[in-house]
Amino acid sequence: MLTLIFGLTYLILIGTTYANARRVGKEGRLLGATLSRARWDDAEVQAILHRYRRQIDHIFLLTVLAAAPFFFLERWPSLLLLQMALVYGCCLFLTSRLRVGAFQSLLALKRRRGWCLGTPITLPVDLRAVAARRELPLSPLWFLPALGLCVALFLLLPLARPSMRPAAASLAALHLATCLFCLWRSGKGAGRVRTYCADSEVNLRCNRQVYRLWSAFWASTAFGEGVLFLLLFFALFPSQPLRFPLWAFFPLFALAGAGAALFFQARLEQVQQAATAEVGGPFLADDDEYWAAGYYCNSRDPRDRTEERDPFLSPYNRAHPRGRWKARASYLFLALILIPVFGLLLRLDFTPLRLQIDGAQVRIAAPAFGYRFDAAELESITLVDEIEGSAVRTGGGSTSEYDMGNYSSTAYGQCKFYIYKKNPPFIQMVVGGKYVFLNGKTQGETMAYYRALEALTNE
């Protein structure tokens, strides 16, 4: 399942990036350069486009071929995630460099041919529309559902396993921080300012429609993230295993989130296109010189972020200290998400399952999903060559090599697996009326565990 999720995510990322890279024209701009439509058919312009598209096709062909190791890394999700992150990161970097290079070639051609559309404008934005962004009424009631989920996460803390309560509290605190961030983002200005024409009244009316849409986006994001964290809580932290396969909801949740994002993007483009059609065409300002380095840099612009003109040209104003920080913040945020996930998967893949007996205490050491019980709770123990029935994971980790954590079995009901699938026999234990399965990486290790547990039952 994890390999399938990684594979689908990889294909979606590659497909979306390729579609954006192949889209060269947008609202009177070609590869981000402000250029009259009459100039697009020029021989030199077409040569730049042809070279760019050919290079992009080669990059993405290599990126798709680089997915071949997916089939060999199925046993190690941590290495699968690392491979996916490295390949997609290289693809994104090379695509961005090619896009910036093509933009700079067009800019050099414009300078040489004298194609600039008038004098470069210092502030190609309606400042009145910028100021109105903070005057819009926004009801905090939109965020009550998300805050209610936050309260629920804190109230559920007593239901978490004692050893995992600090992690569960951190999850609840993280959701609270996310809700406050989304609320702050909506109050700060739900959307980005866009100049549709030289008339401020028209700009205000059109931008207010976009602001309301962005407000709904941030409220929906906070609520969706709360639902996700609630699912994670019941999947990772409950003291009693669930009776239904909660992990089955995550692919459905991912599809719902992707669908919502696509709907929002389509609705946003629809509103902006309607506003552009109202004024008869896009309002263009030839400020390409401020983008010459592949990102926006204008010391005379007090904003830290300008309007986005191209997916691969950074709109953060590098001449502004806050703009420089925000340009790097997305990479830091991504690292803060990927590194802990990679660390957990690395532990699951390469930390062996161990049986530890300390007097009357028995502990099965496993990353994040260990199990501890008293020797007196051990009712029976036997060796089996095969585990009967089928089982669905309700909380834990699983690959083609191992199963660990809580499962719901058709033959044993709610049970726990700590097994290497390809290394029978398996130790079948009944602990407090619940089946627990365990084995080692080798047959000798499994037999050593069996003898140690058997000695406990004979005492």
Best CA proximity match to 354, nearest among 440, 246, 260, 253: 440
Burial class (CB in 10 A: 0-12, 13-18, 19+), 120: middle
In angstroms, the CA 213 to CA 221 distance is 12
Among 77-86, 379-388, 418-427, the range scoring the smallest mean pLDDT is 77-86
Is the pLDDT at 49 greater than 90? The verdict is yes
* Sequence letter at residue 336: L
Q: What is the mean pLDDT of the chain?
A: 81
In angstroms, the CA 325 to CA 304 distance is 9
Give whole-number Cα distances, 405 to 66, 371, 388, 392, in Å.
Answer: 33, 8, 17, 11
Token reading at 422: 């390809």
pLDDT band at 137 (very low <50, low <70, confident <90, very high): very low
Is the pLDDT at 230 greater than 90? The verdict is no
394 vs 294: which has the higher pLDDT: 294
Q: What percent of the chain has pLDDT over 90?
A: 14
Provide the pLDDT for residue 246.
58
Start-to-end C-alpha separation, the chain: 42
Provide the pLDDT for residue 422.
87
Q: What percent of the chain has pLDDT over 70?
A: 84
Provide the pLDDT for residue 245.
60
Is the pLDDT at 441 greater than 80? The verdict is yes
Provide the pLDDT for residue 103.
92
pLDDT band at 190 (very low <50, low <70, confident <90, very high): very low
pLDDT band at 102 (very low <50, low <70, confident <90, very high): very high
pLDDT band at 249 (very low <50, low <70, confident <90, very high): low
pLDDT band at 197 (very low <50, low <70, confident <90, very high): low
Among 60-64, 101-105, 115-119, 171-175, the range scoring the smallest mean pLDDT is 115-119
Encode pLDDT of 266-301 as tens digits: 877 777 777 667 666 555 567 788 888 889 888 877
pLDDT band at 199 (very low <50, low <70, confident <90, very high): low
Compute how many other C-beta atoms are within 10 angstroms of the C-beta atom of residue 16.
11
pTM (two decimals):
0.64
Encode pLDDT of 29-48 as tens digits: 888 888 878 888 889 999 99
- What is the three-class DSSP state of 46? helix
Q: Does residue 425 have a cis bond before it (omega within 30 degrees)?
A: yes
In DSSP terms, which residues pair with 26 in a beta bridge? Answer: 29
**Which residue stretches of 141-248 are H helix?**
144-155, 165-189, 200-236
Dihedral sign, Cα of residue 371, residue 449, residue 346, residue 8: negative
Q: Which residues contact 409 (CB under 8 A, 6 or more apart)?
A: 387, 389, 390, 391, 415, 435
Provide the pLDDT for residue 83.
85
Among 101-110, 184-193, 228-237, the range scoring the smallest mean pLDDT is 184-193
Best CA proximity match to 195, nearest among 135, 133, 124, 131: 124
Is the pLDDT at 264 greater than 60? The verdict is yes
**Average pLDDT of the residues in 67-90:** 81
Is the pLDDT at 435 greater than 50? The verdict is yes
- What is the three-class DSSP state of 407? strand
Scan for tokens 């083609």, then name that residue. 400
